[in-house]
Chains A and B, each alone.
With several copies, the nearest count.
Chain A
């Protein structure tokens, strides 16, 4: 078998050697895997101490469920031959990754590695949504949501934007017909998860005490550890999306570093001016904002462009996270403010800042006209609307059928204890206070 996507990519740099490119893709895939625990830790530190374990389990549960679903049918929907209008891939073509198990001597990089690398993008996207509905959801229903959403929302959107046409293969509409640019997932990952988070938060409603209690992060050292691991993993996400150890990968790497840095600085500046204090939580959030915005654009802008994107994302997201208090939706960990807004910033700025020194087109500011900007707006808008609508529907159905939100008493006692029969910390000297069940009592 030949994965057409890979053939297309191989054409970019026909002189590259398989082993070197494969080595970098193996490392990148491992880095993207690390983003799952990284996100679990990042999110875990942000919630109150009574729900940190539940948050971590939502992320790890997403990892487990999405991986299985992806292997079975998700990859095939995303990267199988298009069945209709560039909207949906053939779910039977790579069912259970069939056809990818045997080595293909013609493939520049192993097809099965590409499939799993893409699968890890699905994992992160789904896991991100958990942040919007922290502290108040049933774990079993969440796992079901992960499976359904992967099939009905993620895989189609990935097909649209990531599945390139190739000889003997028809891919998705955004990448091929529309010609929107999204290097590593501004639409499929960032806008998609952010819009889904907004929908889920609206359908499930606010946490008890939202707007009254501070609900501040219970452990900012966890937030920093998580942010560090995320940034590290993001190099696999972005530079790995070059699918080879090439100059393009290096470019994506540099832009990923630069935009994270300027995102951090811009967020801190907004805080300093507005609140009088620059916070560590702002530093972590600012870096992530920059990384979100550079995700679609890391392979199409120069380092100077990356600086600008980071600054824009850091500043705009710093302002956007306050919206939830104004508009009254409880997007608990700011998936909307950071991922939806940051994803929009990065996807749209491609229309302004793409440089033909790096990519195939020039953005508006580089003399390229309005054309690419229009394409970017269409791609961003289509993803936002589709994801928001579908997610609202899925969450609503699950709430009505299985029940998605926990009971009030359980929420106020804390989901760690109630759902998982655990508490995160036991740092005390007095270890007494619990009594084992002996025999049958």
Chain B
């Protein structure tokens, strides 16, 4: 079991969802996050003073997946989320030791 975490542009999520559905992935958890990186936010003005907005809205996707599916998922996210401009985001993979479905108590692959 692996956990794939992807940080992407908010308006690409719909694309990513479609790409993942083609792979048969139909479960994930989304969080609205703020990204800090090379991409800079717009400047805001307030009472004549300018402020750099350092944070940019992003969406974080978490998918628990079986090992063999991981590469396909990464590829799907990558190709559906990329715009080629700075700020497209990151994808990382970490190990998961066990997973369980709350409703039934099922564990392992059956749980996702």
Binding site for B on A (CB under 8 A): 214, 216-217, 271, 274-277, 279, 281, 318, 321-322, 325, 334, 412-413, 417-418, 421-423, 428-437
Complex interface: stretch among B41-49, B94-102, B103-111: B41-49
Contact A275 B13 (CB under 8 A): no
> What are 24 A-B contacts with C-beta separation under 8 Å?
A214-B44, A214-B46, A216-B44, A271-B45, A274-B48, A275-B50, A281-B47, A318-B48, A321-B47, A322-B48, A422-B44, A429-B59, A430-B10, A430-B34, A431-B11, A432-B13, A433-B34, A433-B53, A434-B41, A434-B44, A435-B54, A436-B51, A437-B49, A437-B52
Contacts of A417 in B (CB 8 A): 42, 44
Give complex CA distance A432, B42 in Å.
15
**Please, which residues of chain B bring their CB within 8 A of the CB of A431?**
10-11
Determine if A216 and B32 form an interchain contact, defined as CB atoms under 8 angstroms apart. no
In the complex, which residues of chain B have a beta carbon less than 8 angstroms from the beta carbon of A271?
A: 45, 48
- In the assembly, what is the distance between CA of A216 and CA of B43, in Å? 13
Q: Mark B5-27, 1 if CB is under 8 A from A, else 0.
A: 00000110110010000000000
Q: Please state if A322 and B44 are interface contacts (CB–CB under 8 Å).
A: no
In Å, the complex CA distance between A281 and B47 comes to 8
| Interface-centre pick from A274, A279, A421, A433 (highest chain B CB count, 10 A) | A433
CB neighbours (8 Å) of A216 from chain B are 44, 46, 51
**In the complex, what residue of chain A is closest to B49 when comparing beta carbons?**
A436
Q: A214-B44, A279-B45 are in contact. Are A435 and B51 (CB under 8 A)?
A: yes
The answer to whether B45 touches A321, judged by C-beta atoms less than 8 angstroms apart, is no
A279 vs B45: C-alpha distance in the bound complex, in angstroms? 8
A430:B51 contact, CB within 8 angstroms = no
A421→B43 contact, CB < 8 A: yes
- Say yes or no: B10 contacts A429, CB within 8 Å: yes
CB distance from A340 to the nearest CB of B (A): 16
- The closest CB in chain A to the CB of B57 belongs to A429
Q: How far is A334 from B48 in the complex, measured between Cα atoms in Å?
A: 13
* B residues lining the A interface (CB < 8 Å): 10-11, 13-14, 17, 30, 32, 34, 41-55, 57, 59
Q: Contact: A321 with B57, CB < 8 Å?
A: no
Instruction: Determine the chain A residues whose CB is within 8 A of the CB of B10 once the complex forms.
Output: 429-432
CB B93 to nearest CB in A, in angstroms, measures 23
If the complex has contacts A412-B11, A433-B53, A434-B53, are A428 and B48 also in contact, measured as CB distance less than 8 A?
A: no
| Chain A residues whose CB sits within 8 angstroms of the CB of B51 once the complex forms | 214, 216, 434-437
Please report the C-alpha to C-alpha distance between residue A402 and residue B47 in the assembled complex, in whole angstroms. 28
The reply to whether A430 and B42 contact each other, CB–CB distance below 8 Å, is no
Closest B residue to A318 using CB positions: B48
A334 to B51, CA, bound (A): 19
A430 touches B57 (CB 8 A): yes
**Bound-state Cα–Cα, A217 to B45, Å:** 11
What is the minimal beta-carbon distance from B47 to any residue of chain A, in angstroms? 5
Residues of A within 8 A of B55 (CB): 433-434
Beyond A432-B11, A433-B53, A433-B54, whether A275 also contacts B42 by CB under 8 A is no
Return chain B residues, CB-CB under 8 Å to A418: 42
Contacts of B42 in A (CB 8 A): 413, 417-418, 421
Cα-based distance from A434 to B55 in the complex (angstroms): 7
* 7 A-B pairs with least C-beta separation: A429-B57, A430-B10, A433-B55, A421-B45, A432-B13, A434-B51, A437-B50
Can you name the residue of chain B whose Cβ is closest to the Cβ of A412?
A: B11
Would you give the shortest CB distance from A127 to chain B, in whole angstroms?
21
Residues of B contacting A413 in the complex (Cβ-Cβ under 8 angstroms): 42
Residues of A with C-beta under 8 A to B43: 421, 437
Q: What 8 additional pairs, Cβ within 8 angstroms, besides A216-B46, A432-B59, A433-B55?
A: A276-B45, A325-B49, A421-B45, A422-B45, A431-B10, A434-B54, A435-B54, A437-B43
CB distance from A32 to the nearest CB of B (A): 28
A334 touches B47 (CB 8 A): yes
**A275 CA / B47 CA spacing, docked (Å):** 10
For A213, the closest partner residue in chain B by CB is: B14
A277 to B48, Cβ gap below 8 A? no
Are B46 and A432 touching (Cβ within 8 A)? no
Instruction: Determine if A277 and B45 form an interchain contact, defined as CB atoms under 8 angstroms apart.
Output: yes
A418 to B44 CA separation, bound complex (whole angstroms):
9
A78 to B27, CA, bound (A): 61
Q: Which residues of the partner chain A approach B34 to less than 8 Å between Cβ atoms?
A: 430, 433
Q: How far is the CA of A423 from the CA of B44 in the complex (A)?
A: 8
Shortest beta-carbon distance from B6 to chain A in Å: 13
B25 CB, nearest partner CB in chain A, Å: 16
- Complex: A437 Cα to B49 Cα, angstroms: 7
- Complex Cα distance, B43 from A276, in Å, reads 11
